[in-house]
Chain A
Amino acid sequence: MTDVLLRQRSEDPVAPREVVRRSARRTRNWAALVWVAPAFGMYALFVLYPMLQSIQYSFYDWDGIGPAKPAGLDNWKAIFTQPELLHSVEHAFILIVFYSVLPVGLGLVAAALIRELRPGAFSTTARVMLFIPQVLPLVAAGIAWTWMYSSDGLVNQVLRAVGLERHTRAWLGDFTFALPAVGVIGVWVMLGFCTVLLLAGIGKIEPELYEAARLDGAGRVHEFLAVTLPGLRRELVVCTTFTVIAALASFDVIQISTQGGPGYQTMVPGVEIYRLTFLQQHVGQASALAVFLAALVLVIIWPIQRLGRER
């Protein structure tokens, strides 16, 4: 958006004299401020102010009701010294593979395949089926998957049916497989979102490009790499941003399916923050972890956004 405006301005054929331009811009800015003020006021009140409050709380030892005691950097030190808190952050990073890398990758493949289908009942069905998980509340999805993963659930029934009896296990109660199993729920939820968004993006790529690629003798793989992938840059950035945030801030699926167990195997910062706030009433510690998590999300999202903007 901004670069479009910039380009327009620089391409402006009649460059007005310096002084005039400056004052004009200033008036325009003040007018703009007036227009922005109501929205900014709301944003400041409901987003910025609470954010600053969280930062403030993170330096206190406070139970949410009674008096707060200044705690210096204790809450922040705890994030890096308490193994459970640090591990929860590690798990969030592992979840990026499941919430982000796999859905975006598989979504690309699915979108490319669906594009080749002639529009009709089959392609619509495929689209609907992939998108349905987005319609379900995550809590319902978490419960359903918990049933499927249980000892006599669907997953193990299928394994038994195909003779893989010895690989059956209580997936969510297994120390090795609990985190990947939770991750698969993430893949299932995110895949539809990525596919639909990428399909929409593919629709915007000019058909002539595909035709040209075909005429130049490009195969499917080559066509995908040379036309589809570059054409989807912006959609890919949106998908990745959205899913990475979902991975780092994951809460509902874990809270419903494993509550962080077995042991501490699937504990994530979201669940920790919830427990610290509402169960332990350590609002200060929870705020520190929440601010840390928000900063972490920004640090990771920043390069992805830069990547999307480059031309």
Chain B
Amino acid sequence: MRSLNLYRTAVGAVAALLLAACAPGGNSEAGPAPSKPVSTGVGSQPVTLRLLVNSGVDVPFYTALGELFHAKYGNVTVKVDNQDYATLTTNVAHILAGSTAPDIVRVSQLGNLIEDHLLTNLDPYAKAYGWDKWPQSQFASTRVGPDGKQRGTGSLYAVGPGFGLTGVYYNKALAQRIGMSRPPATAAEFDELLGKAKNAGLQPIMINGKDGGSVYPLQNLVMSSAAAAQAVQDWNYAKPGATINTPATVNGATVLQRWGRSGYLPADVNDIDQTRAPREFLDGNGVFFPSGNWQAPGLDKSGAGKFGFFLFPPRQAGGPSYAMTAAANLGIAAKSSHSDVAAAFLDFIQTNTQARQDTVTLGGLAPAGPADAPPPTAAAGSAVAATVGAFQELLKSNGLVGFMADATASIHVNSLIPQTQLLLAGKTTPAAYAAKVQSDYERDLRR
């Protein structure tokens, strides 16, 4: 009896607690931060600018940029902290909401950061520094509309020193063996080369299907099949009504599935990850390696002059070429008390000649910036030189498209990777693939 009463009291207490507790989370009325007047100087007061970036290659790169900045503006010291990619991506919202937020943070995905008012609106700085006069496609992916979700439109929230860029690396010696004297001019020609490589007993393509490398050629096949990238770009940016469930996607998926069946992709493609694929390619296992410019410094270091790079070929010769790109984005924390200095740093890393050179050599990224900025130098015939050249070309032709993987926070791991694995294993059809990716996308966006 007593225990029953105790039990009743406990249940009552719990129920009361649940009822009394108000809804979790912040204030729903908080609007966007009012824009403060901005200035372009760094003043003369001593300032420590705190940067939070990813571990690894980011650290020496941003440290070098910080030292360059300090050399120019003696009163500003740049302190670089780092967290590994996964930790930073998962915690960035809480770090920015906390009381010890850094001034500048490396943001891989904007997620809900804008909706939750955690980043500074950079529009006033873009105007003050004249970023709005530069080629604008470089800023499209970090513009966010008033709903906090749709990208490619609205205000600017992040800029960066440079861009990742995808294309196809090739092993020059093996390419010669299959009679490839110049990069393929059309997708059909590329397909033929793959067949020749297979017949010559070579592994035509090396790629990492375990963690999503196989999604790159898929997206390229979709864009070359459509001979346009607008539909994919709209989809990436969550434009209302955008869909990926199109004939172009079905065609692209059909070709990729055929490549898998024909043995153009490694037999254990779904088990190869992003550390193993470049290693295998370096060892000569694979004529082609679809990947990004972040691989170029590594390939040059291990085999200078042995590897070339071309953009995924268009459907028709001379047609538009497309590449996936993602900026190494830096945002200014809404809570930063040095936002003017932080903005000066962001302008500096995009325009300073030495900073742009470091972006290529230390960051493995292609710098964008003003249209008339001199492109950084790289050793002739190197993979790095090829990627930098390709980037400049695409910047002018508006051929830069975001990664489908970045369309929503989880579309990559929850849909594109598993669905592409199912596609390559013959366990889903191209039509079902396109439909499933679209329905997951709509669920993610809560449409």
Contacts and interface: CB of A to CB of B under 8 A. Distances in A.
Contacts of A52: 14, 17-18
B283 to A, nearest CB: 11
B422 A263 contact: yes
B284 to A, nearest CB: 15
A245 B48 CA distance: 48
B409 A280 contact: yes
Contacts of A80: none
Nearest to A25: B2
A173 interface: yes
A170 B25 contact: no
A85 to B, nearest CB: 11
A64 B271 contact: no
A278 B418 CA distance: 19
A151 B268 contact: yes
Contacts of A55: 18
A275 interface: yes
A62 B116 CA distance: 11
B116 A65 contact: yes
A56 interface: yes
Contact of A151 (B271, B421, B425): B271
B406 to A, nearest CB: 12
Given A175-B427, A280-B410, A264 B418 contact: yes
Interface residues of B, number: 45
Interface string B264-280: 00011111100010000
Interface stretch (A201-209, A235-243, A254-262, A300-308): A254-262
Contact of B211 (A170, A259, A275): A259
B444 interface: yes
A57 interface: yes
Contact of A279 (B270, B410, B418, B425): B410
Contacts of A137: none
Contact-residue bracket for chain A: 35 or more
Interface stretch (A66-74, A111-119, A189-197, A223-231): A66-74
Contacts of B93: 63-65, 281
A65 B268 CA distance: 41
A278 B90 contact: yes
A67 B444 contact: no
B271 A260 contact: no
B414 interface: yes
B79 interface: no
Nearest to A276: B410
A172 interface: yes
A251 to B, nearest CB: 14
A151 B93 CA distance: 39
Given A65-B93, A66-B112, A150-B271, A262 B425 contact: yes
B306 interface: no
Nearest to A284: B24
Contacts of A151: 268, 271
Given A52-B17, A281-B111, A65 B26 contact: yes
A176 to B, nearest CB: 10
Contacts of B90: 278-279
Interface in B208-243: 209-211
A173 B210 CA distance: 7
Contacts of A131: none
Contacts of A283: 24
Interface in B411-447: 413-414, 417-419, 421-422, 425, 427, 444, 446
Given A52-B14, A63-B116, A170-B268, A261 B418 contact: yes
A150 to B, nearest CB: 6
B158 interface: no
A4 B352 CA distance: 79
Given A52-B18, A281-B409, A65 B25 contact: yes
Contacts of B418: 260-264
B409 to A, nearest CB: 5
Given A56-B18, A60-B23, A66 B116 contact: yes
B115 interface: yes
B421 A261 contact: yes
Given A173-B210, A259-B413, A62 B25 contact: yes
Nearest to A173: B271
Query: Which of A62, A63, A283 neighbours the largest number of chain B CB atoms within 10 Å of its CB?
Result: A63
B270 A262 contact: yes
A234 interface: no
A262 B118 contact: no
Contacts of B23: 60, 67-68, 70
A68 B408 CA distance: 20
Contact of A66 (B14, B115, B408, B419): B115
A218 to B, nearest CB: 45
A278 B417 CA distance: 18
B35 interface: no
Contacts of A53: 21, 24
Given A173-B269, A261-B421, A65 B413 contact: no
A169 interface: yes
Nearest to B446: A61
Given A259-B211, A263-B427, A169 B25 contact: no
B27 interface: yes
Nearest to B408: A280
A173 B417 contact: no
Interface string B244-280: 0000000000000000000000011111100010000
B254 to A, nearest CB: 19
A26 to B, nearest CB: 10
A97 B211 CA distance: 28
B97 interface: yes
A56 B21 contact: yes
A74 B348 CA distance: 48
B266 to A, nearest CB: 8
Contact of B409 (A70, A259, A262, A279): A279
B25 to A, nearest CB: 4
Contact of A65 (B118, B271, B276, B422): B118
Given A52-B14, A56-B18, A279-B90, A67 B26 contact: yes
Given A67-B23, A281-B409, 15 more contacts: A56-B21, A56-B24, A60-B25, A61-B446, A65-B118, A169-B268, A170-B271, A174-B270, A261-B418, A262-B421, A263-B425, A275-B414, A280-B408, A280-B414, A281-B93
Interface of A: 52-53, 55-57, 60-68, 70, 84, 150-151, 169-175, 259-264, 275, 278-281, 283
13 contacts: A53-B24, A62-B24, A65-B118, A67-B23, A68-B25, A170-B270, A173-B210, A259-B211, A261-B270, A262-B425, A263-B422, A281-B409, A283-B24
